[in-house]
Amino acid sequence: MDQSIKKKRARGRLSREMIEDAAFEVIEREGLSGFSMRKLAAALGCEAMSIYHHFPSVAHLHEALVDRLIGALEIPDASLPWRQRMRIAIEDFRRIGRDHPAYSSFIVTYRMNSPTCLAWLNGIIGLFKDGGFDTELSARLFRTVGYYLMGAVLDENAGYSRGPSAVNTVSDEQLARDYPNVMAAGRFFGAAEFDKTFELGLDMVLDEMERLRDGANASQPSGKV
Amino acid sequence: MDQSIKKKRARGRLSREMIEDAAFEVIEREGLSGFSMRKLAAALGCEAMSIYHHFPSVAHLHEALVDRLIGALEIPDASLPWRQRMRIAIEDFRRIGRDHPAYSSFIVTYRMNSPTCLAWLNGIIGLFKDGGFDTELSARLFRTVGYYLMGAVLDENAGYSRGPSAVNTVSDEQLARDYPNVMAAGRFFGAAEFDKTFELGLDMVLDEMERLRDGANASQPSGKV
DNA sequence: AAAATGAACCTTACACTGTAAGCTGTCAGG
DNA sequence: CCTGACAGCTTACAGTGTAAGGTTCATTTT
């Protein structure tokens, strides 16, 4: 009857949003390194090159993905207590990792520079200023907290608990025999312990920041070595 | 005269060590994503497949590289003060990043599980135990410090100061106008500030750990929110 | 109504990747 | 001398991102 069985091309079928949605799915399904334009196209039911009409390159696509994740974040309301605002902002970012585990290692190594991301960064640094820190301490403490957060997101989503990267792995018996500390600690390295471990370290950092702000004298130790 | 100008194949020319050395060079020269078996072979003056005689796969090669970097680390002498031991161990790892900036993002995302790496991990966790922490706190604080350290290595070597990942970048004027906090903080984000920033955060974490050990009561704030 | 335009998608092709399979030249031990 | 084994090479394949150009069709213009 109709001249061609596959003429279901339907012009405006694709869109940036559709492609982004599919990209998130493919990345989580295939893993970050297993992601490719051809697999993405397959998921969309189109050819790889069709995607290039909407995104000039994979880099542009990735930028859009990061923008979507970061753009969805909000700076916690200024009426809330400072410490709570800080925690919310940090947990918001951490949740991105949990929601997109395969993509988390990309986000953590991504140098954000789009307007969307800069707006968020600007708000987060503003959070430190709101906490009473001057420009320098705001910048440095942003790094301190950021370092901790990036490392945590990395470990929780791409880390030890997901199995080893190594090719030659070590058996459990060997582990117990030769590396007892690792063996003993392993119990606290699983996904079930992530929250508690994260909270512990986060509270430490937040405590220390408040101490730093509320007079940097009360602090005893700091043996400075 | 001689039958072939290129018969300089010379049997045992290659070795695992030579290949590893060249791999480190190629990675730093071409970047982690620019590294390939063929480029490595070119650097060695051989064909790509010749490398497979010494390493069954790139994964095996990477494992050897990580093993070499981690294997060179030592657990600081037990006779030193605990805080100093901790600092030395942390700075040792941090130095790996500085010495191999292009490789640092690989190391940070690598799930170590080789005997060499496990021995080091075992020693580091032992360091926490030596500091008077029980098994659980040793494990969790190992994570806290590790998160901070991984994030720092990532930022210092693959981070913001190396230029943006984004395709659409923002001009300096736009930055100053729309993102003043980022602009102001930028002064403290450069490589020249890495040490000071790292020390600040590290001291915070170490202070808090000592506080945690020397009686978790003296600590005032911890508003727990 | 017919023609022109341009957006949306597809086809082909190229230079690159890791690596499986098999080949060849060289050297040590008999 | 011969015989393996070893070390490195050749070829080939399936995969990658994407440049260049072809095709189809909705819309606009005449």
B155 vs A147: CB contact, 8 Å cut-off?
A: yes
Residue A144 located in a structural domain: yes
A30 and A140 housed in the same domain? no
Q: How far A149 CA lies from chain B's nearest CA (Å)?
A: 7
- The shortest CB-CB distance from B151 to any of A146, A163, A214 is to A146
| pLDDT band, residue A216 (cuts 50/70/90) | low
Please indicate whether, in this complex, the C-beta atoms of B144 and A197 are within 8 angstroms of each other.
Answer: yes
Min Cα–Cα distance to chain A from B203, Å: 7
Look up the protein residue whose alpha carbon has the minimum distance to the C1' of C9: A50
pLDDT, tens digit (0-9, with 9 covering 90-100), for A33-63 = 999 999 999 999 999 999 999 999 999 999 9
**Phi-psi category of residue A31: left, alpha or beta, with phi > 0 → left and psi -120 to 50 → alpha:** left
Task: Look at residue B62 and tell me if it is in a domain.
Answer: no
The whole-number Å distance from B114's CA to C27's C1' is: 35
State the pLDDT confidence band at A219, using cuts at 50, 70 and 90. very low
Considering only residues 53-82 of chain A, list those whose CB is below 7 Å from strand C: 53-54
Query: Does residue B85 form part of some domain?
Result: yes
Residue B186 sits in a domain of what CATH number?
A: 1.10.357.10
For residue A63, tell me if it sits in a domain.
no
Residues A150 and A200 in one domain: yes
Angle at A53 between CA A52 and CA A54, to 5 degrees: 90
State, as a whole number of angstroms, the distance between the CA of A23 and the C1' of C5: 32
**Number of other CB atoms surrounding residue A115 within 10 Å:** 17
> CB A148 to CB B144 under 8 A?
yes
The Cβ-side half-sphere exposure at A74, using a 13 Å CA radius, reads 3
| A44 and A116 both lie in a single domain | no
Kindly state whether residue B39 falls inside one of the protein's structural domains: yes
Q: Is there a single domain that holds both residue A116 and residue A197?
A: yes
pLDDT at B87: 98
Length of chain B: 225
B197 with A140: Cβ contact below 8 A: yes
pLDDT tens across A55-72, in order? 999 999 999 999 999 999
Looking at residue A225, its pLDDT comes to 52
Question: How far is residue A118's CA from residue A114's CA, in Å, rounded to a whole number?
Answer: 6
A186-190 contact pairs (CB < 8 A, 24+): A186/B139, A187/B135, A187/B139, A188/B135, A188/B136, A188/B139, A188/B140, A188/B143, A189/A160, A189/A161, A189/B139, A189/B143, A190/A161
Domain membership of residue A51 (yes or no) is yes
Are residues A46 and A85 located together in one domain of the fold? Answer: no
pLDDT of residue A223: 47
Minimal-distance CA residue of chain B relative to A184: B135
The residue among A222 and A150 whose pLDDT is bigger is A150
**Do B152 and B80 belong together in one domain?**
yes
Do residues B116 and B71 make contact, with C-beta atoms less than 8 angstroms apart? yes
The residue in chain A having the minimum alpha-carbon distance to the alpha carbon of residue B61 is A167
Query: Which domain, by its residues, includes A203?
Result: 74-158+172-212
pLDDT attached to residue A5 = 37
Residue nearest to nucleotide D7 (CA to C1'): B11
Query: A140: alpha, beta or left, given left = phi > 0 and alpha = psi -120 to 50?
Result: alpha
What are the 10-residue block averages of pLDDT along chain B, 225 residues in total? 45 92 98 98 97 97 98 98 98 98 97 96 98 97 98 95 86 97 97 98 98 70 50
CATH code where residue B45 lies = 1.10.10.60
Residue among B162, B179, B209 with most chain A CBs within 10 A, to mutate: B179
The number of domains in chain B is: 2
Q: Are A94 and A152 in contact (CB under 8 A)?
A: yes
Task: Answer yes or no: do B201 and A118 touch at CB < 8 A.
Answer: no
Pick among A67, A104, A150, A168 to test the B interface (most B CBs inside 10 A): A150
The answer on A126 and A203 residing in a single domain is: yes
Q: What is the mean pLDDT of residues A204-208?
A: 98
- Residue B148's nearest CA partner among A201, A20, A113, A210 is A201
- Write out chain B residues lying below 8 Å of A134, CB-based: none
Q: Inspect the interface and report whether the beta carbons of B59 and A167 lie closer than 8 Å.
A: yes
Interface test with A, best of B61, B105, B111, B117 (most A CBs within 10 A): B111
A163: chain B residues, CB-CB within 8 Å:
111
Indicate the residue of A108, A205, A214 with minimum beta-carbon distance to B204. A205
Whether residue B175 contacts residue B182, with contact meaning beta carbons closer than 8 Å, is answered with: yes
Q: What is the pLDDT of residue A166?
A: 86
> Do the Cβ atoms of B147 and A151 come within 8 Å?
yes
Whether residue A113 is found in the same domain as residue A182: yes
**Residue B5, min C-alpha distance to chain A (Å):** 40
Instruction: For residue range A103-127, list pLDDT tens digits in order.
Output: 999 999 999 999 999 999 999 999 9
Nearest to A172 by CA among A162, A158, A184: A184
**Looking at the structure, do residues A78 and A48 belong to the same domain, yes or no?**
no
Nucleotides, chain C, CB distance < 7 Å: 8-12, 16-22, 25-27
Are B117 and B203 contained in the same domain?
A: yes
Query: Looking at the domain assignment, is residue B35 inside a domain?
Result: yes
Whether A146 and A88 share a structural domain: yes
Chain B residue with Cα closest to A188: B139
- CA distance between the termini of chain B: 84
> Does residue A69 lie in a domain region?
no
Residue B85's pLDDT is: 98
Verify that B81 and B41 share a domain, yes or no. Answer: no
